[in-house]
Amino acid sequence: MASISIALSKGRIFDETAPLLARVGIRPKANPDSSRKLVIATNRRDLRLIVVRASDTPTYVQHGGADLGIAGRDVLVEHGGDGLYQPVDLGIARCRMVVAVRKGFDYAGAVSQGARLRVATKYVNTTREHFAAKGVHVDLIRLYGSMELAPLTGLADAIVDLVASGRTLRENGLVAVEEILPVSARLIVNQAALKTKRGALQPLIDAFAEAAA
Ligand code: PRT
Ligand code: MG
């Protein structure tokens, strides 16, 4: 029996994937939110979960550290998606990637006057491409989290971050001024594994597609 591994991150992605796993007939033997285990066995002897950082999921699947993975479109676009199939939009962990600024900051004015905009984000590749396509000059400031602080402290004029309810922006006096991408989580597959283990992987991919629909 071919052994199969699925990479995913704890927190939001695991929580929203759990009902899909149940529908596919996969029952993890531990909950990564409470366990410290990074490799989690399931009721299926041929299948285990690998717990990784959200932004590392595409890297694990690309290099064959896992056969399958579950990752947000934000992470996939930023990573580039080399060596990955993205066969199923799971429709979970939905949010939007946006440009946000301090309330009262004249974003349209700054952009139309051709000012160099200082933009803080962890999505540097996506952000560079977004502004290049608009012909707006930006200085990128790479952060690893809490992007919302950057405009409040004068570190940056704008941020590129994810918004779901809008509460985080609102509570920090920020407003979204532009949408870059709608985001949801995708099932991703190592391209080489799909060829060598198609018999084991294809039914699982089909089951996820069915469970997500
Ligand atoms: O911790 P690590 O750096 O490894 O990754 P992470 O913090 O990005 O992981 P996690 O678990 O927070 O997010 C995993 C994935 O969930 C992301 O890659 C997205 O695809 C998806 N997702 C969906 C979100 C949100 N919704 C979301 N709202 N990820 C983050 N947020 C954050 C956002 O960055 C902001 O700080 O929530 C805040 C905004 O939420 P609202 O509801 O206040 O608007
Ligand atoms: Mg986090």
pTM here is 0.96
Task: Report the top-level CATH class of 4-93+184-212.
Answer: alpha beta
Q: Where are the domains of the chain?
A: 4-93+184-212, 95-182
Q: Would you put residue 83 in left (φ > 0), alpha (ψ -120 to 50) or beta?
A: left
Q: Are 67 and 189 in contact (CB under 8 A)?
A: yes
How many angstroms separate the alpha carbon of residue 78 from the centre of ligand 1? 14
Task: Decide: 170 in ligand 1 pocket, CB within 6 A.
Answer: no
pLDDT in tens, 4-42: 999 999 999 999 999 999 999 999 999 999 999 999 999
pLDDT in tens, 132-188: 999 999 999 999 999 999 999 999 999 999 999 999 999 999 999 999 999 999 999
Please check whether the two domains, 4-93+184-212 and 95-182, share a CATH topology. Answer: yes
**What does the pLDDT read at residue 114?**
83
Task: Report the top-level CATH class of 95-182.
Answer: alpha beta
pLDDT in tens, 61-104: 999 999 999 999 999 999 999 999 999 999 999 999 999 999 99
Triad 94, 87, 17: Cα angle to 5°: 40
How many angstroms separate the alpha carbon of residue 74 from the centre of ligand 2? 13
